[in-house]
Amino acid sequence: RRCCAVIIMKSLALILLFQIYGQSLSQNATRPNIVMVMSDAFDGRLTFDPGSRVVQLPYVNYLRELGTTFLNAYTNSPICCPSRAAMWSGQFVHHTQSWNNYKCLDANATTWMDLLEANGYLTKMMGKLDYTSGSHSVSNRVEAWTRDVQFLLRQEPRPVAQLVGNMSTMRIMRKDWENIDKATNWIHQRAAPSHQPFALYVGLNLPHPYRTESMGPTAGGSTFRTSPYWLGKVSSELITVPKWLPLDSMHPVDYYSTFTKNCSGVFTEEEVRSIRAFYYAMCAEADAMLGRVISALRETGLLNNTVVIFTADHGELAMEHRQFYKMSMFEGSSHVPLLIMGPGLRSGLQVKQLVSLVDLYPTVLDIAGLSPVGALSGHSLFPWLSKASAFSKKEHPDWVLSEYHGCNVNASTYMLRSGRWKYIAYADGLSVPPQLFDLTVDKEELHNVSPKFQDVRAHLDKLLRSIVDYPKVSTAVHLYNKKAFTAWRNGVGRNYSQVIANLRWHVDWQKDPLANEKAIDKWLNVHSLKPSTSSQLMLHWLQQANTAMQTQAIEFIVKSTV
């Protein structure tokens, strides 16, 4: 009897294990693999016409033809860490308090990748992650903290184009290519033999500009570098030279950004064309890396059961609005690519719905058949992707929110895109004038029609305030900046003067270091500096600008835009 009982117990255990294993196999067989490739600084307008004509992007086109392209996808913050923090958490920036590249998510924050792993997915993250607190340079964080100080200092090297190699030189961004090699090896050696569904994230640095080494160890990235091979992918005759407003007609926040990005001097038309051509060539190299990942999936027979997502943390202005880099709500900076292809998903579809990076968290979970944990800022995009007609569309807001609180901008910035309108509010909404653009007739965003359409402005401001109490958030950021800077200065101790004088702004700082330190002391000692004083600060910054340089620049702009 005892022997029979043992046999029966083992048989029941085997049956139970078989049932569990069989359910697991069945579940895994129906759950698709998920691969996300996230580029850095990739202009989303290059993924559809007419932008897609200027550079050959065969693998972006592949995703566009076999998947869904979101034509109006935006970053939730036009800078690396806060943007990625929003994507990984599904939360708006003011919820995570990701104020700059230094302050983002806690290391133990739950991401959608964590939830996939907890629910049976084999997971791997490689390349540029950049979403937790504590990263990036000292310069980057100090510049963000001191943006209310009454000085105007160039914080970036002048943007330049640099040609390297020859027609056979393909691997320019070597670190990215190393990560792509690791990703393809992981697909072949780990994902393919596994019986689990897998999720792979690959973060690229391209087409982010390279560090300008001639400016020393603290220099930022202002070098657009590529080879003749990638330049051959660019249709030079289609490169446009963007129109610029005269410096004295720019919005004060845009002027501050232009100056601190070292773009207020004179640029020839050839320089602007070259920077833009090199940027597009860098996008072509990033596209080739995406292609390597897609090829590895095809070679292993995994592509037919894999959802592939291509997106970016933000765009690149590439000399639009007399700026490079990001940190702006203009389309070149805030509009990101979003293409999704996979089994059971629609092909060749172009979706006009306004979406943003926070929507990827619930979308990925929806694809995996999982429910999100807690409240999210984003909404699943699966209803637009799925072929299943029985799947009804959940409500998705008809607006997107982006906000920015970091360096190279001297006021917290909030962008609400709704329908044809883009509304941009600053600080407390009173001291700095807002901007309003009608994107249907002003794609270049050169005409602020806020004074003309006051009813539209009032409606959008009311909607924005219903989403985020932005004056309150601006005040919180202002207080954080003072507290964080004070803690940093105390930590540096007696070396403070030397350290702060040799950050990225060292060229301008060292013209009068004592005056600059006094300006910081004055800022710190004003205990209740209200956001309403920012207009006076901006006037001070404008007055500091070199008049002769402005005159030369304005004359050049007039000649080049007539």
Active-site residue list: 80
Instruction: Assign residue 136 a region (left: φ > 0; alpha: ψ between -120 and 50; beta: otherwise).
Output: left
- Cα–chain center distance at 475: 24
Write out the H or E segment, with its range, that includes residue 247: none
CA distance 327 to 403: 10
Q: Residues 282, 224: contact at Cβ < 8 Å?
A: yes
Neighbours of 90 (CB within 10 A): 28
Q: Tell me the backbone φ, ψ of residue 352, rounded to 5 degrees.
A: -90, -10
Q: Tell me the backbone φ, ψ of residue 84, rounded to 5 degrees.
A: -70, -35
CA distance 324 to 61: 26
CA distance 174 to 132: 24
In 3-state terms the chain splits into helix, strand, coil percentages (rounded to 5) of 45, 15, 40
Strands (E), 252-360: 306-312, 338-341, 349-356
Q: What is the chain's alpha carbon radius of gyration, rounded to the nearest angstrom?
A: 25
- Cα–chain center distance at 520: 30
Query: Maximum distance among all alpha carbons in the chain?
Result: 103
Both structure tokens of 401: 């929110």
CA distance 37 to 71: 18
Helices (H) and strands (E) in the chain, counts: 20, 14
Q: Residues 553, 247: contact at Cβ < 8 Å?
A: yes
CA distance 61 to 248: 41
Q: Tell me the backbone φ, ψ of residue 298, rounded to 5 degrees.
A: -70, -45
The candidate with the shortest Cα–Cα distance to 66, out of 372, 381, 363, 307, is: 307
Q: Residues 145, 205: contact at Cβ < 8 Å?
A: no
- Torsion over CA of 72, 75, 77 and 79, rounded to 10 degrees? -130
CA distance 237 to 250: 29
* Length, in residues, of the chain: 562
CA distance 260 to 541: 11
